[in-house]
Amino acid sequence: MPYGFLATVVVWGTCTAVALAPPGPRRTRPSSPTFWLAYVVSELPFLVAAGLAVPTLQAGLDGDLGTPVGAVALALALATWVGLGLVVRRGLRARTALEAALARALGPGGPRGRSGGGCWIPPGLGSRWGRVLAWPFPGPGPGVERLGNLAYGPGRHHRLDLYRPRGRPADGPTLVYLHGGAFRHGSKRRGAQPILRRLAARGWTCVSADYRLAPAAVFPDQLVDVKAVLAWVRGEGPNHGADPTRVVAAGSSAGAHLVATAALTSGQAEFQPGFEEDDTTVDAVVALGGYYGAIGTRGPASSPADHLNAGAPPFLVVHGDLDTIVAVDDARDFVARLRAASARPVAYAELPGAHHAFDLFHSIRAEAVADAIAAFAERVAVGVA
């Protein structure tokens, strides 16, 4: 009987519809059923399309497509494939959106030697299509080695992983990355792994750090940890191949909040207890799907918007226009306020059709974002912009 086939198609068809047009208002909230329905389809449409093809083929071999139920299921499957095609098309537009954002912030045309043809980011995926199509899951890749669980402080949460080119010296900037997780969960091993490994293969040294989490941690505990990571990179990083003269701070969701706040509070001793004299400045900030509101109601001001100043480093802010976890309006508001206060470039890109946490897989978007981060940081981190 084709009812199992119909049920499979209904599930994936519903997820595809939600990925294309999530229902309800998009506002900041700690979790969203819409996100979980849409996320896999949004970032892994090729695998979903292939997974849907298997039961369709089986139903055809079993003769179920000739039944009324099977015919309805087949029609829904065809509609779902069309929807998946639209998801892919939106994903391909990420590169255009990022290119336009960099051009607006830094001027037209990028470094020809690294980005090609005067564009800020390459026009396509090139040899990376195989990874995107066949195995988009994060994991070890050629040319990159990981040094795990290096200590930057005394606690069990004060550990970081360092990624660097295998077999050759790193010649790019150093990226310090903080994971998301609503300040309550998450791990240095999960966030933005495709981007970290891509940049390490390009010649960067990438650091992904854990930090203290709520409810045990109360702001500014998390911010102190971020600054301790930056101090470690400036002091101990060269022993592991990191360049302490070009440091880019990046984060996703809650991590974006923390790196933005750390960059905007440079030199404030209250957030560096015990290491007040250490250099925790950064040369650029990359915020992916960031939350920019307050963490709590007690203690010092905890929103990065509370610390805006003219001395802010260059920012690259990237947000999905269909984000149902952190509303895109919040990112727009933060960028507008940051641009009004800062004397440095602020690049802002909204990714068409993107939901939250678009950096977890080797997806079309994640590959484009990695290229944009490289183009942006390799320009501003050497003081050209």
Contact (Cβ atoms closer than 8 angstroms) between residue 164 and residue 170: yes
- Respond yes or no: is residue 253 known to be catalytic: yes
Amino acid identity of residue 127, one-letter, is S
Active-site pick, 253, 303, 342, 363: 253
Contact (Cβ atoms closer than 8 angstroms) between residue 212 and residue 183: no
- Respond yes or no: is residue 187 known to be catalytic: no
- Respond yes or no: is residue 225 known to be catalytic: no
Strand partners, 346: 315
Active-site pick, 179, 355, 356, 362: 356
Active-site pick, 243, 323, 330, 359: 323
- DSSP per-residue string spanning 14-47: HHHHHHHS--S-----S--HHHHHHHHHHH-HHH
**Catalytic site positions:** 253, 323, 356
